[in-house]
Amino acid sequence: MGGVVDSSNDAYEMVEITSEDVDVAELHDMFTILDFLQLEDLGFFEKGTGWKAVGDGVTTHGGALPINTSSGLKLKGHPLGASGVAQVYEIYQQVTGDAGARQLKTETGLASNGGGFGNCVTTTSLEDAQWVVRTTLIQM
């Protein structure tokens, strides 16, 4: 998914972080396969290993890299247009300590939202320490 790769690389560069700095992420999971593809294209795992990380529990609430702590888009009914806003709001709550029972110890979160056929991707990084919010939009 070239749009995910390009958008995340731009976002990482803008805030001077790498995928290793991300503590929690919200991914566009309208189809299960998208989780695996995005985990890899965002640089969290090597190509072909995203499924294994999920199977090993790395992406669970108590795992090393919690993904979709809001329960993901499918559980919310994937409200078109509002999906990306909901993702960013979840990351905002996580980095500000306002996520209630879903709260994790986190400083840097990332939301990646795709549209169309992956040709329009927005990656947002939020950091509590510097109150940095950067969004990059890649349209292919």
DSSP letter at 65 equals S
Pairing, β 108-115 against β 132-139: unpaired
Residue 117 is predicted with a pLDDT of 64
| Contacts of residue 31, Cβ cutoff 8 Å, sequence gap at least 6 | none
Residue 43 is predicted with a pLDDT of 96
Tens of each residue's pLDDT in the chain, 140 residues: 788 888 888 888 888 889 999 999 999 888 888 889 999 999 999 999 999 999 999 999 999 999 999 988 877 777 777 788 888 889 989 988 999 999 999 989 999 888 766 667 777 777 765 555 555 555 44
Nearest-angstrom CA–CA distance, 55 and 101: 23
Alpha helix locations (H) across 1-140? 2-15, 32-41, 50-55, 72-75, 83-96
User: For the whole model, what pTM was predicted?
Assistant: 0.86
Residue 45 is predicted with a pLDDT of 97
Residue 19 is predicted with a pLDDT of 95
Residue 140 is predicted with a pLDDT of 46
Nearest-angstrom CA–CA distance, 104 and 48: 27
Query: Domain boundaries in the chain?
Result: 67-140
φ and ψ of 31, to 5 deg? -130, 140
Sign of the CA dihedral running 121, 126, 131, 132: negative
